[in-house]
Amino acid sequence: MNKVTDILKFICMLLFLASINLNAQDCYNDIRKVFERNIELNNKFLSSNEEEDRDNLEKYTEEKLHPVLHIFQENTCVRFDSCLFAEFTKLLLNNNNSADEFPANSLGHIFICQTVKTTWFIKNMNKKDRDIIVKLLEFGFLNESMKDEDKDYSQQYRSLKNLKET
């Protein structure tokens, strides 16, 4: 009886772990789709410059992108996913025309909690894209680091300074 119980516990644990993995994959796909849709809407706005396209982009950004960015940045602080971070940098590069600070602040937040991985990723980008991302990172990092003045961000600041010099 004890062996059967152990086997059942093991099966339950495997099913639980599989469900976590499936939920993580669903979350990844949902985030990626929101990033891609925002890029599409921004491209449509840039090519047409119609008020309706601008309104659609702004509405989508506020209602879909911002909540997803919050989830993305918190998930990335726990587990850095290079593929999803690459999608995020595509979004940042595409939306470089925007005055919206939320994406840059998300980048700054991620940089604070995942400095080494973020730095490595950015260093491996082509120079043109890296320069744009570093400017956004600097802006977002300064905004995010000012939220908690009690913490010492000197290590992250040095990493940012090194990125700017590459």
Instruction: For the chain, give every domain's residue range.
Output: 2-165
For residues 160 and 138, the answer to whether their CB atoms sit within 8 Å is yes
Q: Which of 82, 76, 93 is nearest to 35 (CA)?
A: 93
Q: How far apart are CA 109 and CA 103, in angstroms?
A: 10
Q: How far apart are the first and last CA of the chain?
A: 64
Global pTM value = 0.81
The whole-number pLDDT of residue 37 equals 96
For residues 122 and 134, the answer to whether their CB atoms sit within 8 Å is yes
Tens place of pLDDT per residue across the chain (166 aa): 566 666 666 555 544 444 444 355 667 889 999 999 999 999 999 998 789 999 999 999 999 999 999 999 999 999 999 999 999 999 999 998 888 999 999 999 999 999 999 999 999 999 999 999 999 999 999 888 877 766 778 888 888 888 888 7
The whole-number pLDDT of residue 110 equals 96
The whole-number pLDDT of residue 147 equals 74
The whole-number pLDDT of residue 14 equals 43
Could you tell me the CA-to-CA distances from 16 to 9, 19, 76 in Å, in that order? Answer: 10, 5, 22
Q: Which of 143, 123, 120, 141 is nearest to 131 (CA)?
A: 123
